[in-house]
């Protein structure tokens, strides 16, 4: 096949780049310069980045910003956010300042249970399998003791193992459903190692069990893997204040604002088309902090959206109430995070971000991340129900448009001043640039 290459991973970095450039690019030297432009000048640091994944050719940069003034449980934080989208850091900062003056954010970790499963098939009656499982349940824990001893020493480990019958959904299909406490580690490697040991124990013990016939002894393990759906690894964050205290520069009528805000949240609670965009805004804040702290934002996204659908319909992750003159806005969300292991001890900017957050435990990081999501959502819904989303968003996007047209520093200065009193749209910016240049 054209452009097919064998053994690409075995090539040196320079050989990989040479092949890519000569195969896919017309201006080879310009493309080569771009690739090298993003290399780190510190060879040791660049080698570290090269070894994070396979087949690296360069670094892909995202801005690392900071949203200050987050008052969380009476402690102040400056929150690191790695994200490319205009207005996210600004919106988070604005929300943080708004609530700083109204008591700040209150949070609590509800639970920290994580889940893994061994998926297998068994050709026999569930009653026989259940008797077998109960007779060897303690063996699973004993066999995994070499894996769990360090985690147990710190207070974590295996919490429970259950046998789950799924044969009404798929013929002969069962699970070992295990729960874990992994403390400050996200725990993926720990959980997967335990699960693979459970699978080995299951197969070994089945061959020795007198209660099975020869066919039943042949248990087939399909796979052993942790789940990124963690409905019992929950954190809650909230803000609350008297309705009158909502009055601010852009909220002239606090009662009207509170009513419209609550209606907007109620719509996201019953309308999936709105809920998806509503929750996407929440994840703008959450993903940015998760990425800045070296955690797996894809796992967090998958688990969060599954949680939003847990009742059979996709719902808002945030909720709002108005009772006895008190406005309250909150989020309850599953977050499996870690502050040790993985990139947390390798990536220099991850270490920087964690130190900026006062080197939090996993439980503390869960609370900070949940607050970032709540703050982002408050800013978005506040804009939607007052000025409209585009006014603030497009003003933040202005610089991107100016950079697309390679505006000079002087042009940027004049156009930023111009759009302080004019509506920012792409066409309006293009027209203003052309007028300025003509």
Residue 59 located in a structural domain = no
Q: Is the pLDDT of residue 392 over 60?
A: no
pLDDT (0 to 100) of residue 410: 83
Q: Is the pLDDT of residue 425 over 80?
A: no
Residue 215 located in a structural domain = yes
In this structure, what DSSP letter does residue 232 have? Answer: T
- What secondary structure does DSSP assign to 82-120, as a single string? E--STTHHHHHHHHHHHHHTTT-BEEEE----EEEEEEE
In terms of domains, do 204 and 239 share one? no
Provide the total of helices (H) and of strands (E) in the chain, helices listed first.
15, 10
In this structure, what DSSP letter does residue 314 have? Answer: -
Q: Three-class SS of residue 225?
A: strand
pLDDT (0 to 100) of residue 365: 98
In terms of domains, do 375 and 284 share one? yes
Q: Domain residues for 132? A: 114-227
pLDDT, tens digit, for every residue of 37-74?
A: 999 999 999 999 999 999 999 999 999 999 999 999 99
Residue 321 located in a structural domain = yes
Residue 55 located in a structural domain = no
In terms of domains, do 250 and 354 share one? yes
In terms of domains, do 239 and 379 share one? yes
Q: Is the pLDDT of residue 5 over 80?
A: yes
Q: Is the pLDDT of residue 399 over 80?
A: no
In terms of domains, do 194 and 209 share one? yes
Catalytic residue among 238, 296, 347, 364: 296
Residue 302 located in a structural domain = yes
Q: Is the pLDDT of residue 398 over 80?
A: no
pLDDT, tens digit, for every residue of 282-291?
A: 999 999 999 9
Residue 56 located in a structural domain = no
pLDDT (0 to 100) of residue 396: 60
As given in the structure block, the two tokens for residue 171 are 């013929």
In terms of domains, do 380 and 338 share one? yes
pLDDT band at 294 (very low <50, low <70, confident <90, very high): very high
Q: Is the pLDDT of residue 395 over 60?
A: no
The mean pLDDT value for 255-265 works out to: 98
Number of domains in the chain: 4
Residue that finishes a domain, picked among 169, 198, 227 = 227
Q: Return the half-sphere exposure (C-beta side, CA atoms, 13 A cut-off) of residue 48.
A: 12
Catalytic residue among 280, 328, 351, 412: 280
Write the CATH number for 205.
3.30.70.420
pLDDT (0 to 100) of residue 248: 94
pLDDT (0 to 100) of residue 404: 78
In terms of domains, do 218 and 269 share one? no
According to DSSP, the residues that pair with 425 across neighbouring strands are none
Give the whole-number percent of the chain exceeding pLDDT 90.
84
pLDDT, tens digit, for every residue of 107-164?
A: 999 999 999 999 999 999 999 999 999 999 999 999 999 999 999 999 999 999 999 9
Mean pLDDT of the chain: 94
pLDDT band at 393 (very low <50, low <70, confident <90, very high): low
pLDDT (0 to 100) of residue 385: 93
Residue 208 appears among annotated catalytic residues: no
Residue 304 located in a structural domain = yes
What is the pTM for the complete model shown? 0.89
Residue 296 appears among annotated catalytic residues: yes
pLDDT (0 to 100) of residue 373: 98
Q: Three-class SS of residue 259?
A: helix
pLDDT band at 434 (very low <50, low <70, confident <90, very high): confident
pLDDT (0 to 100) of residue 144: 98
Between CA 424 and CA 255 the distance in angstroms is 30
Between CA 59 and CA 40 the distance in angstroms is 8
Beta-carbon contacts of 417 under 8 Å, excluding residues fewer than 6 positions away, are none
Residue that finishes a domain, picked among 227, 259, 278 = 227
In terms of domains, do 185 and 74 share one? no
pLDDT (0 to 100) of residue 389: 58
Catalytic residue among 16, 18, 50, 85: 85
The dihedral sign for the CA sequence 272, 273, 279, 280: positive
Residue 57 located in a structural domain = no
pLDDT (0 to 100) of residue 345: 81
């Amino acid at each position: 096949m054209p452009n097919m290459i064998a053994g690409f991973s075995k090539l040196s970095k320079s050989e990989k780049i040479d092949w890519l450039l000569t195969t896919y690019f017309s201006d080879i030297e310009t493309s080569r310069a771009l690739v090298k432009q993003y290399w780190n000048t510190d060879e040791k640091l660049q080698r570290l980045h090269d070894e994070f994944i396979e087949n690296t050719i360069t670094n892909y940069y995202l801005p690392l910003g900071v949203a200050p003034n987050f008052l969380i449980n009476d402690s102040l934080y400056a929150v690191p956010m790695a994200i490319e989208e205009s207005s996210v850091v600004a919106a988070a900062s604005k929300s943080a300042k708004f609530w700083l003056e109204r008591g700040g954010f209150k949070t609590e970790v509800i639970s920290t249970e994580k889940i893994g499963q061994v998926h297998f098939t068994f050709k026999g009656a569930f009653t026989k399998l259940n008797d077998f499982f109960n007779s060897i349940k303690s063996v699973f824990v004993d066999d995994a003791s070499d894996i769990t001893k360090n985690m147990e020493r710190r207070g974590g480990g295996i919490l429970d193992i259950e046998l789950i019958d799924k044969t009404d959904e798929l013929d002969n299909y069962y699970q070992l459903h295990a729960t874990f406490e992994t403390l400050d580690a996200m725990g993926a490697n720990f959980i997967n190692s335990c699960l693979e040991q459970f699978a080995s124990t299951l197969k070994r013990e089945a061959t020795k069990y007198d209660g099975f016939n020869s066919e039943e002894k042949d248990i087939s393990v399909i796979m052993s893997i942790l789940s990124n759906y963690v409905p019992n690894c929950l954190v809650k964050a909230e803000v609350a204040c008297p309705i009158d205290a909502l009055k601010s520069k852009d909220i002239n009528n606090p009662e009207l604002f509170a009513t419209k805000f609550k209606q907007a949240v109620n719509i996201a609670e019953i309308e999936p088309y709105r809920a998806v965009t509503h929750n996407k805004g929440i994840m703008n804040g959450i993903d940015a902090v998760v990425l800045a702290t070296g955690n797996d934002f894809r796992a967090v996204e998958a688990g969060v959206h599954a949680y939003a659908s847990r009742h059979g319909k996709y719902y808002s992750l945030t909720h709002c109430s108005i009772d006895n003159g008190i406005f309250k806005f909150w989020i309850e969300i599953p977050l499996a995070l870690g502050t040790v292991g993985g990139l947390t001890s390798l990536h220099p900017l991850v270490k920087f971000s964690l130190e900026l957050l006062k080197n939090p435990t996993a439980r503390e990081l869960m609370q900070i991340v949940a607050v970032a999501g709540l703050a982002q959502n408050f800013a978005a819904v506040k804009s939607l129900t007052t000025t409209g989303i585009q006014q603030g968003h497009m003003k933040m996007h202005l610089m991107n448009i100016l950079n697309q047209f390679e505006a000079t520093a002087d042009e940027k200065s004049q156009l930023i001043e111009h759009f302080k009193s004019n509506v920012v749209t792409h066409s309006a910016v293009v027209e203003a640039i052309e007028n300025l240049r003509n």
